[in-house]
Amino acid sequence: MVTSVATAILIATLVYLAAGFLFAIWFAFSKVDELDEEARGAPLLFRLLIIPASALLWIYLLKRILEKKKS
């Protein structure tokens, strides 16, 4: 029982991180310019550096992108 709960938590975490990583790559190279005007024309190193944080905060960033499109 404990093993199955731990396995479920591990799988959920891996799915979250995989989705976050895919989102972060898309965000860093195409959508960061829309949310932050200072990021326009930013070098490749900056975009690579924001990938880890974007992968962890992908739900928040996606919400911000969707809110911006509505307004």
pLDDT tens for each residue of the chain, 71 residues long: 778 999 999 999 999 999 999 999 999 999 999 888 899 989 999 999 999 999 999 999 999 999 988 87
Q: Which pLDDT score is estimated for 14?
A: 97
Structurally, how many domains does the chain consist of? 1
- CA–CA separation, 55 and 4 (whole Å): 26
Domain that holds residue 18: 2-70
- Where in 13-70 does DSSP place strands (E)? none
- CA–CA separation, 28 and 33 (whole Å): 8
